[in-house]
Chains A and B, each alone.
Chain A
Amino acid sequence: MKNFSYVRAASVKEAVQQSGANQAALFIAGGTNLVDRMKVFLDEPSHLIDITRLQMQRIEPTTDGGLRIGALVSNTAVADHPDVRRNYPLLSRAILSGASQQIRNVATVGGNILQRTRCPYYYDTAFACNKRKPGTGCPATTGINRMHALLGASDQCVAVHPSDMCVAIAALDAIVEVEGPRGRRQIPFTDFHRLPGDTPERDTNLEPGELITAVVIPPLPFAKSGVYLKLRDRASYAFALVSVAAALKLEGDRIQAARLALGGVAHKPWRPTEAERFLIGKPANTATFQQSAEIALQGAQPLAYNGFKVELAKRAIQRSLTISANGGGVA
């Protein structure tokens, strides 16, 4: 680890100022991702701005019946919050399917959104990696890419975003509130993360120095039927091979509204909007769900080791939609 200076910011303003003034500064929240990265020289900040004392620790109802979740609320506190459990069970379950209890206790909402890929090549400086060092190459394209992307990748990078929470947040059409050197702004969650394209080093559209202050979840009554299904190599404490967040609104057996998001398949939490649109007005049955899954995976570009994820993702979509159509519950 390179030597770094450390300061505990007293206010959002101060944190933003500090980071604006120093290009090589990073915010640190729970530290569960950043410290690991620093230990293996993926990040070598010269300055750390500890944001854990800032006033971004609350979950409050919004006037329209949604929730505003402060960026520093712990993953555990979000998952356990009664309003989250009642109104957005898929968010609660997505969080609880990730990491371990100990990690969730210190991990924050902002940190979770900004955690970086678990691509094993990214994680070791013995390898080249376009994300870590632009222009050096992407060994994953010809390497062990079992966990890698099916959709929206580029020849520069085939990494996936590892978060579970973000998949649920994407399905819920949340808004990210940020504050930066040039003031405050709101970013729709689906525009927050980026596809790799020619700039795989950039995970998100956050500008240098910008701080996430909160995530706003709009009201969505049918989210009560929401489902989060995570498929992985062990029953707990493993990143997703594929995951699905889904929620359906039915009128009789007709689908009135649908939300679908996929994890483990792309550089960002993936919203297959065409597959969602397809569902509207259709009867809630296996054939519909199957077709929707086909649409969602159209254009998938499997690599040498991850071809099975195409079928796995389709089946996960079908299963999640089926459970949601039956009122939701544990998948």
Chain B
Amino acid sequence: MSNVIGTSVSRTEGRAKVTGSATYSAEHQISGLVHGYLITASVANGQIRAIDTREAEKAPGVIAVFTHKNAPKVFMPKNDFMNSKIYEARLPLSDNQVHYAGQIIGLVVADTFERARHGAHLVKVEYDTQTPLIDAKKVTFKEAPPQFGEEFAFAKGNIAAGLANAAIKIEATYTSSTELHAPIEPHAIIAHWQGADALTVYEHTQWVAGAQRTYAELFALPAEKVRIVAPYIGGAFGCKAVPWPHAILCAAVARQVKRPLKVVLSRRQMTANAGHRSETEQMLRLAATKDGMLTAIAHEVKSYTSPVDVFIEPCTGITPVMYTVPNLQLKQELAVMNIGTPTFMRAPGENPGLWALESAMDELAWALKMDPVELRLKNETREHQRKGLPFSAKHFADCLNVGAERFGWNDRPMQVRSLTRDGKRVGWGMAAATFPGLRGRASVKVRLLPDGTAHVLTAANDMGTGAYTVVAVTAAEVLGIPVEKIRVEMGDSRLPDGGLAGGSQMTASLAPAVTAACQEVLKTANCTTASEACAALRQSGRGAIEATASSAPGAEMKKWAFQSWGAHFAEVTVDEEIGRLRVTRWVSVMNIGQVINAKAAASQVRGAVIMGIGQALMEEAHLDPNTGYPVVYDLATYHFPAHADTPRIDVAFVGKPDLNFNPIGARGVGEIGITGVSAAIANAVYHATGKRLRSLPLTPDKLIG
């Protein structure tokens, strides 16, 4: 063992990225490539009465224009998330109906990007319109259906009794805004057909094998006739898991025009066609005894979906996980609006769920005159109250205690408006973080070469999170050779299925498979170390030793609940007169099992905290209240934190490897960092100002009020 696991290793692909040699989806150079530009609807609810493409068709460079009248053929995939999945259950251009503003209603193909864009601008559309449903106050809510096989409604104990008999009660409603993923790399795809029955897709995808099967089903091809190439992804956060309508359309049109075709979404188009996190309204009722033992939690959530698919922001998932409570009741409702389809966004459910729960817990702590850290320690649960399983390797209390220590929390005056600095109010707040430990099946091939290097090959991918490096580090550890001697190839469906990069499970799924494949290589070579094996290779004159191995979760899932934990501690300053809120200090302590690359893990947490600061302070995708059309259109109108909004973020890890979970003991770290962030900030604002803000984002208008 080389003991590289757990150390800080710089990204193996870092140089390629900063020098521009890393090839992102839109950057693959393919000869004969033509460009597509989307035509999008300017109304949110209606039918296309007439669409006039004549002028566009005559425009210089335009090759073809596609609308619902000449939509290319595609087949509905199984769309079951086992074999295949598309984000929107309606296939692009399937009829003349418009369900939301910005919906794709056509595609112009031209020899250059600019000419395609110009062509799209020349298309004239007439609509019959109906009043769109876009006002959250006017829509009809229904009980949310099960999502991915799981019911939402849950009750334990007697909620009415639990609330009635309590010494202290908190009842409050919290709202969060519609948020965009806004990855730095816009959505892009190149579809390249080899004849009519073999397709290569260059597209960032969080799920390479899934994309392969999905495109195969869309075009009724055997899976091996589709190749997905996605070596790099410029950020995904959940909005690049499976094909969106533009990608399906691109592949279908490319087949029809018999040319490699590229479609890149503008930021404007991404606001409607690349997902978002639904706004939420959450009502929480907490009850506790005088000494701070919770007796009841009722959590009711409202979120919104589009007319063409169902996605429920699953906020109540965290409620049975956080605190022991004898009486618990969960409910989720859903309403359809004329908006684009929402989807997974970093910690879907956990993030807005903890915004509400951790705000309410803070309110409860103040009502009890109890330190919020103590309140959480007191109510920590040893078991998942919905699954009825004990948590494995849970070190939540360490997160709280170590975080408090690093932050200097115990010096906090238990009084609002008690701290000032340079004429500004100062406040300290904290909140818990959590995310489930997920893991999937993954396969990896390892090839050891006589020169002492090794190749690791898998159709997993790196969303920008550092997966290349995690794989290299794990292989280096098992083989006992330096990280620099490991070459990792990912993001190509010709490689063994590496599973899904989502739900923070890539590391937890891949690392055991890498370990198993490396061990298999040593076993095949009949050696205990890689250097012996390489020496043997050189002697025998053989080219390489290869082995493929898979790993998957098993019986442990029935014995344990796996969950990661964390705590955030925040300092804010508030210049009350002018409504200026700044986050000035941050400590996050995370319990994620085995840390594989300390540097990358800490930067995942930092990135997530920054994203959480965005949610807390500024992110909000407004729709025009009359037409439902998004009025944010780029990275200047959709705000997320600039450096000036970002403090130094101190990150520490506690706990032990979770060896019940997988042989490496790693639970993954991609999403947990964002959970609880907005609550920690709002809680700090309360400490600073005495003002309890329950509606995100905390923009200046809310601070001066």
> B114 contacts which chain A residues (CB < 8 A)?
1
> B633 contacts which chain A residues (CB < 8 A)?
120, 123-124
Shortest C-beta distance, A176 to chain B (Å), equals: 26
* A234-B617, A312-B579, A312-B700 given; A120·B639 CB < 8 A: no
* A142-B626, A234-B645, A236-B642 given; A1·B117 CB < 8 A: yes
* A124-B633, A315-B704 given; A234·B639 CB < 8 A: yes
Q: Is the CB of B577 within 8 A of A144?
A: no
Taking a contact as CB atoms closer than 8 A, the residue among B624, B639, B642, B645 that contacts A139 in the complex is: B624
Shortest C-beta distance, A273 to chain B (Å), equals: 24
Tell me whether B455 is interfacial, beta carbon within 8 Å. no
Interface string of A1-34 (1 = CB under 8 A from B): 1110000000000000000000000000000000
Q: Is the CB of A236 within 8 A of B631?
A: no
Q: Is the CB of A233 within 8 A of B639?
A: yes
Closest to A308 in B: B701
* A1-B117, A316-B578 given; A143·B624 CB < 8 A: yes
Q: Is the CB of A144 within 8 A of B117?
A: no
Tell me whether B580 is interfacial, beta carbon within 8 Å. yes
> B268 contacts which chain A residues (CB < 8 A)?
40, 124
Range of interface residues on A (Cβ < 8 Å)? 35 or more
Q: Is the CB of A319 within 8 A of B578?
A: yes
In chain B between 98 and 118, which residues have their CB closer than 8 angstroms to a CB of chain A?
Answer: 101, 114, 117-118
Q: Is the CB of A124 within 8 A of B699?
A: no
> A40 contacts which chain B residues (CB < 8 A)?
268
Q: Is the CB of A315 within 8 A of B578?
A: yes
Q: Is the CB of A127 within 8 A of B644?
A: no
Q: How far is it, in angstroms, between the C-alpha of A123 and the C-alpha of B624 when the chains are bound?
A: 13
Taking a contact as CB atoms closer than 8 A, the residue among A121, A143, A231 that contacts B580 in the complex is: A231
> A318 contacts which chain B residues (CB < 8 A)?
577
> B582 contacts which chain A residues (CB < 8 A)?
235
Q: How far is it, in angstroms, between the C-alpha of A312 and the C-alpha of B576 when the chains are bound?
A: 11
Q: Is the CB of B579 within 8 A of A139?
A: no
Q: How far is it, in angstroms, between the C-alpha of A125 and the C-alpha of B676 when the chains are bound?
A: 39
Q: Is the CB of B704 within 8 A of A144?
A: no
Q: Is the CB of B629 within 8 A of A308?
A: no
> B101 contacts which chain A residues (CB < 8 A)?
126
> A127 contacts which chain B residues (CB < 8 A)?
42, 624, 627, 629
Q: Is the CB of A312 within 8 A of B704?
A: yes
Shortest C-beta distance, B628 to chain A (Å), equals: 11
Q: How far is it, in angstroms, between the C-alpha of A312 and the C-alpha of B631 when the chains are bound?
A: 23
Q: Is the CB of B644 within 8 A of A231?
A: no
Tell me whether B641 is interfacial, beta carbon within 8 Å. yes
Tell me whether B632 is interfacial, beta carbon within 8 Å. yes
Interface string of A112-132 (1 = CB under 8 A from B): 000000101101111100000
Tell me whether B1 is interfacial, beta carbon within 8 Å. no
Shortest C-beta distance, B616 to chain A (Å), equals: 12
> A241 contacts which chain B residues (CB < 8 A)?
700
In chain A between 222 and 272, which residues have their CB closer than 8 angstroms to a CB of chain B?
Answer: 229, 231-239, 241
Shortest C-beta distance, A323 to chain B (Å), equals: 11
Q: How far is it, in angstroms, between the C-alpha of A1 and the C-alpha of B42 when the chains are bound?
A: 19
Tell me whether A155 is interfacial, beta carbon within 8 Å. no
Taking a contact as CB atoms closer than 8 A, the residue among A39, A142, A234 that contacts B618 in the complex is: A234
Tell me whether B32 is interfacial, beta carbon within 8 Å. no
Interface string of B398-423 (1 = CB under 8 A from A): 00000000000000000000000000
Shortest C-beta distance, B699 to chain A (Å), equals: 5
Tell me whether B541 is interfacial, beta carbon within 8 Å. no
Q: How far is it, in angstroms, between the C-alpha of A270 and the C-alpha of B639 when the chains are bound?
A: 26
Shortest C-beta distance, B237 to chain A (Å), equals: 19
Tell me whether B622 is interfacial, beta carbon within 8 Å. yes
Tell me whether B378 is interfacial, beta carbon within 8 Å. no
Q: How far is it, in angstroms, between the C-alpha of A270 and the C-alpha of B669 when the chains are bound?
A: 50
Q: How far is it, in angstroms, between the C-alpha of A222 and the C-alpha of B629 when the chains are bound?
A: 48
| Residues on A facing B (Cβ under 8 Å) | 1-3, 39-41, 118, 120-121, 123-127, 139, 142-144, 146, 229, 231-239, 241, 308, 311-312, 315-316, 318-319
| Residues on B facing A (Cβ under 8 Å) | 40, 42, 60, 101, 114, 117-118, 121, 268, 577-580, 582, 617-618, 622-627, 629, 631-633, 636-637, 639-645, 699-701, 704-705
Of the A-B pairs whose beta carbons lie under 8 Å apart in the complex, a sample of 5, sorted by A's number, is: A3-B60, A40-B268, A118-B636, A143-B624, A316-B578
4 cross-chain pairs, A with B, having the tightest CB-CB distances, nearest first:
A235-B644, A126-B42, A308-B701, A236-B644
Given known contacts A233-B617, A312-B578, A312-B579, what 13 new A-B pairs fall within 8 Å (CB)?
A1-B117, A121-B624, A124-B631, A127-B629, A139-B624, A231-B580, A236-B642, A237-B642, A241-B700, A312-B704, A315-B578, A315-B579, A315-B704
